A and B are shown apart, each in its own frame.
Chain A
Amino acid sequence: MDSKKVKTRLKKYWEGKSNLNEENELKSHFLHAPDGADPDHEYFTYLNKKSTQNPLDDQFDDEILKLIDKNKQSRKLKNNVIKYWYVAASLALVISVSIIFKDKFIKVNKVENVVEMDTYKDPDKAFEETKRALLLLSSKLNQSSVYAAQFSKFEEHQNNLKQN
């Protein structure tokens, strides 16, 4: 590249108007240009030197991977801790519910046993008692119905009296 072209490219470069191709051409020019030929020589030499260096070596990769692993493990641990908290909270809830309903539960179980337990083992005796209970219920129902009928008759008469 002749010096005129270099000047034009440099002007464009510093004005921020050069494209990537032109910048590469400039870098390539200064790579072969003799030292001190241009005030920008040092700058472009630095750029050339920097581009050939690998700033992220294997050690960096190892460190990053280690950090990622560590992060994963700590997340796993965190998740496990949360799970244990859930289990602990659920257990606490179950225990609380059990304590609250303990009396009721024990009572209900006791009642169920009582109810399920027959007073009489002999079906004939049980039938005799059932018969008595049913007859008593029946007589009470009839007795109450008579009262109810009498009351409705009384009400009926009362309504008739009111109408007259």
Chain B
Amino acid sequence: MKNLIIILITACIGFSANAQNDVVTKLFNDYYDDENFTKISVSSKMFELFTHIEPGDEDEEEILEAVSKLKGLKVIAADSVGNSKELYTKAVKKISGNGYEELMEVKDAEEDMKFMIREKDGIIDELVMVVGGNKSFFILSLYGEIDLKKISKLSKGMNIKGMEHLKQLDDNKN
């Protein structure tokens, strides 16, 4: 009887822990069956395989170094949704109330952007970026040991404007 009670309590704690950790994953699940959204998932096993890739140039070497401590990546993107701002607000609301800390938020005429992080023992173990444009919507979740300096350094000197990559991601998926 005692064992049963312990199992039940553990199960309940497990459920609540899951509820907290899987908030971003849940968002991914929400759009899983919607064909208007491109879903990309790269697991920790795949990240392990990246260690065998030979870098083609210095930039790639830098990227490989940046991903060496990462454990996963999830992307959900759409470039022609009518309610993108609404999706953005909904996503931000869902994520921010679940142990994520706001890193930065930028709102301009083109798009709203929010970066949220989750820290453990002083190390960022998850970074979530939510972008809501006029018709575009984008969530990127990166997890593992995240070094913000290394990541922000990657695009410096490169001519990348950002949201046009949504199109590239879409094209590659299709």
Contacts and interface: CB of A to CB of B under 8 A. Distances in A.
A132 B168 contact: yes
Interface string B33-47: 000000111110111
B11 interface: yes
Contacts of A138: 151-156, 160
Interface residues of B, number: 63
Interface in A35-65: none
Given A90-B4, A130-B67, A123 B154 contact: no
Given A111-B26, A132-B169, A118 B42 contact: yes
Interface string A84-112: 00100010011001000100110110111
Interface string B101-125: 0001110100001010000000000
A26 to B, nearest CB: 64
B122 to A, nearest CB: 20
A123 to B, nearest CB: 4
A142 B161 CA distance: 10
From DSSP, what is the main secondary structure of chain A's interface residues? helix
Given A115-B25, A143-B106, A133 B46 contact: no
A135 B155 contact: yes
Contacts of B108: 147
Interface string B43-72: 101110110110000001001001100001
A134 B172 CA distance: 16
B39 A119 contact: yes
A126 B42 contact: yes
Interface string A125-145: 011111111111111111111
A137 B39 contact: no
B13 interface: no
A85 to B, nearest CB: 11
Contacts of A14: none
A113 B113 CA distance: 28
Contacts of B153: 138
A136 B159 CA distance: 11
A107 B26 contact: yes
23 contacts: A86-B1, A93-B8, A97-B8, A110-B32, A115-B72, A123-B53, A126-B42, A126-B46, A129-B40, A130-B42, A130-B50, A133-B142, A133-B169, A136-B163, A136-B165, A138-B152, A138-B155, A139-B158, A141-B115, A141-B148, A143-B162, A145-B104, A147-B108
Interface of B: 1, 4-5, 8, 11-12, 15, 18-19, 22, 25-26, 28-29, 32, 39-43, 45-47, 49-50, 52-53, 60, 63, 66-67, 72-75, 104-106, 108, 113, 115, 127, 129, 131, 140, 142, 148, 151-156, 158, 160-163, 165, 168-169, 172-173
Interface of A: 86, 90, 93-94, 97, 101, 104-105, 107-108, 110-112, 114-120, 123-124, 126-145, 147-148
